[in-house]
Amino acid sequence: MRKKRGRPVSRRQFKSTSDNSDQSGYQGKNFNIKKLKKIKKSKGEKFYTKEDIFLSRLASILKLPTGRVKQAFTERAVTAIRINNLAGDPESIKKLLLKKRLKLKEIPWSPNTYIVENKDKSELGEMHAYEKGLFYIQNLSSLIPALEFRLERISDKSMQKVKVLDLTASPGSKTSQLAALMDNQGKIIANDVDPHRAQKLKEVLDQFHVKNTKVTVQDGSKVGIKSENREKFDFVLLDAPCSGEGMIYLTHSGSLRFWSIRKVKAMSKIQRKLIESAWLALKTGGTLVYSTCTLEPGENEAIIDFLIKKHSNAQVKKLDLVNSEEFKDFRKFVKPGITEWNQYSFSPEVKKCIRLVPSAEFMGFFVAKIYKG
Ligand SMILES: C[S@@+](CC[C@H](N)C(=O)[O-])C[C@H]1O[C@@H](n2cnc3c(N)ncnc32)[C@H](O)[C@@H]1O
């Protein structure tokens, strides 16, 4: 990434805009928020709240009025389920769910996936069929990364040799989806740094009948460095830890308690280490999918920009799924990656990545696909 005036910015110099211009609500001006607070205090006016700061920051990223941003972040996305083909015949499971009076609307771009129109997440989570692993509850945005590997194009015979690395895998939504797409063939290594979360991951994989996966517990940034993992995997998923903006619902009190600009900056550092490790573990000719549930350019486009500038064989690809016929009615929710934000600019290649602004269909998300040439 480089500063707009053309001077290259080193990784260390990159700040995810902790400067104040974007926090003040006066976008585009070099504004000092401490000064502003002082003036406001002396005049007996109110301080900016965390929500004000969040909204004006997101308004500047999404190029939307703050009112529209607030509306987006109070919208709760539909509940979708993925019928689990590892637990039985998907048609029979569907019939069983219809008998239980679930109102299902098919999602044409994801196998065995339906929006449930008459039950929410917690009601579905209490169903016996869920406990038995007959279906998985998953947001539509979260389905996209695993589908981008296009595993359906691999023959049954070749699938047996396929090796997938899910570098930051817990609680296992995407690992279980990958296993379902692979029909429990081939091999998945599902890794997480946190032992408790890795335990949760194991339980989820058991519940959802996953048999082709080994869970490992280590720092993902070290995985690709190890000689035994170098260029080992055909597909690597890095669904990175992030500041989680896409999951913020402003109607809930305390919804911003885990969000801060400091966290955005810290995540951006971790993500660079993780993507470098993911890249080292990927075979030449293999595909890496990078995703986050945040809308921060410093955690999204900046990470892809970092990778492609460091590795000349890293080629950003357009997302097949999003450009497919089946996805056409959903394409209106998808925006391209952004090449400029605040004082930073990124390679035009990042326009091939996708952003999903929170809506009634999708939670906020970012997905990038990179081929190792
Ligand atoms: C966004 S969540 C992954 C969600 C998961 N892919 C899914 O679909 O269910 C990120 C995960 O990364 C893990 N994590 C954070 N730092 C890590 C690191 N350095 N190495 C490996 N995992 C890490 C967290 O414990 C968390 O479980």
Ligand 1 pocket, CB under 6 A: 142, 168-174, 191-194, 197, 219-221, 239, 241
- 84 with 167, same domain: the answer is no
CA–centroid distance, residue 290 to ligand 1 (Å): 12
Q: Is residue 5 part of a domain?
A: no
205-251, pLDDT tens digit by residue? 999 999 999 999 999 999 999 999 999 999 999 999 999 999 999 99
Query: Residue 267's pLDDT is what?
Result: 98
Q: Show the domain range for 132.
A: 80-138
Catalytic residue selected from 247, 293, 319, 370: 293
Ligand 1 pocket: which of 82, 176, 194 to mutate (most atoms within 8 A of CB): 194
- 167 with 183, same domain: the answer is yes
- 161 with 245, same domain: the answer is yes
DSSP state for residue 75 in the 8-state scheme: P
- 93 with 163, same domain: the answer is no
Contact 245, 295 (CB under 8 A): yes
If pLDDT is split at 50, 70 and 90, which confidence band does 252 have? confident
- 226 with 368, same domain: the answer is yes
- 241 with 270, same domain: the answer is yes
Confirm whether 242 is a catalytic residue.
no
- Taking the C-alpha atoms of residue 282 and residue 311, their distance in angstroms, rounded to an integer, is 13
> Could you say which of 138, 161, 176 is where a domain stops?
138
- Alpha helices, DSSP H only, in the chain? 33-42, 50-62, 66-72, 90-99, 121-125, 128-131, 140-147, 156-159, 173-181, 195-207, 220-223, 261-281, 301-310
22-36, pLDDT tens digit by residue? 222 222 333 455 555
- 201 with 342, same domain: the answer is yes
CA–centroid distance, residue 80 to ligand 1 (Å): 22
Per-residue burial over 30-67, b if 16 or more Cβ lie within 10 Å, else e, is ebebeebeeeeeeeeeeebeebebbbbbbbbbbebebe
Query: Residue 62's pLDDT is what?
Result: 96
182-210, pLDDT tens digit by residue? 999 999 999 999 999 999 999 999 999 99
State mean pLDDT over 163-173. Answer: 98
Query: What CATH number is given to the structural domain containing 312?
Result: 3.40.50.150
DSSP state for residue 8 in the 8-state scheme: B
Domain count, the chain: 2
Inter-CA distances, 303 with 2, 88, 245, 267, 300, Å: 13, 39, 17, 11, 5
Tokens encoding 335: 């925006």
